Amino acid sequence: MADGTSRLAWADVAAQLRGRHLRLTPQRRAVVAALAEFEGHVTAAQIVERCLEEDADFVPSTVYRTLHLLEDLGLITHIHDADGREEFQPAAEAPHAHLICRECGTTREIGADELGDFLGLLHRRHGFDVDLSHLAIFGRCVGCTRG
Amino acid sequence: MADGTSRLAWADVAAQLRGRHLRLTPQRRAVVAALAEFEGHVTAAQIVERCLEEDADFVPSTVYRTLHLLEDLGLITHIHDADGREEFQPAAEAPHAHLICRECGTTREIGADELGDFLGLLHRRHGFDVDLSHLAIFGRCVGCTRG
DNA sequence: ATAGATGCAAAACCTTTGCAATCGC
DNA sequence: GCGATTGCAAAGGTTTTGCATCTAT
């Protein structure tokens, strides 16, 4: 996607599941819906909470299983946030990294194009292929530096 | 440090502690010694294990408390590894980032000089000051790409 | 002496797992 | 119906916390 905002496409989820003889259950719908709602980086806990609002019978293990399934299907990815918790995001068609402010916790996306030759440099120099969607860059954001 | 290898200086630890009326206990010595031994990125669990070898009376909570204290003092920093566990390292005088292979788990250090204008770019473009020592870059290393 | 540290044990947290029951296909 | 999926409940692993005791300064 050009604008950096990635959405989890229903069609993709359905297609992937059917293609592998996996099932589209209400619980999975709910998790996907929750992911779509947040439109960005979500903690597993946030998904659990959202799903519980919808249906009190929801259970965390199902959420985790679903999230890991979606990840296996290549539909979402996860990074670990500043506190070490899993934070999921739709697998963007245009992969992007995250700038995470250690002071206010704000997360901001930046695309590969904003990294300059960073990726190429690491590849040439170390033969290292960066997994951009798992790249969490910690530091201080503008606001906190000025404030 | 110029060579990228950072050591935790005893003098710094002692100075910081005394300056704040904190105490240099045997347990703290042991943790610092363990950190020095590994000379790099260490898991909290590794420190605990090492300390237990020295003295069976060691207790994990003390290790965690000490590590967090050292971090507060600015002597060490930590990142979260691929599994979300805390991984500590001496606060390098020459800060460096880490290349972490998601396949084999190998970690490799790279200095600011190897990042090209990456840091400057983020600063100019987003006003974002990267905390280099918390930068964990995930991807595939040379070995795993070739293999 | 006295504030700071430790050990212990328990809890908090996040995540995973086994298994019988259930339900989508 | 069959096999995938769920709920439940329990366990696993990591990190934190309260409190009485101890100790470096």
Distance from CA of B48 to the nearest CA of A (A): 19
Binned at pLDDT 50, 70 and 90, residue B6 comes out as low
Distance from CA of B118 to the nearest CA of A (A): 6
Neighbours of A105 (CB within 10 A): 12
DSSP B75: S
Q: Three-state SS for A39?
A: coil
Task: Report the percentage of chain A scoring pLDDT > 90.
Answer: 28
Q: Say whether B114 and A125 touch across the interface (CB within 8 A).
A: yes
pLDDT in tens, A30-75: 999 999 888 678 999 999 999 988 888 889 999 999 999 999 988 8
User: What average pLDDT score do residues A101-118 get?
Assistant: 79
Instruction: Find, in chain A, the residue whose alpha carbon is nearest to that of B119.
Output: A115
Using the structure block, give the residue that is written with the tokens 């795993």: B144
Which nucleotide comes closest to B62 if you measure CA to C1'? C6
Contacts A142 to B, Cβ<8 Å: 126-128
Nearest-angstrom CA–CA distance, B51 and B69: 17
DSSP A76: E
DSSP B110: E
pLDDT greater than 60 at residue A87: yes
A31 contacts A67 by C-beta, under 8 angstroms: yes
Domains and CATH numbers, chain A: 4-90 (1.10.10.10), 96-146 (3.30.1490.190)
Query: D9 C1' – B56 CA distance, angstroms?
Result: 35
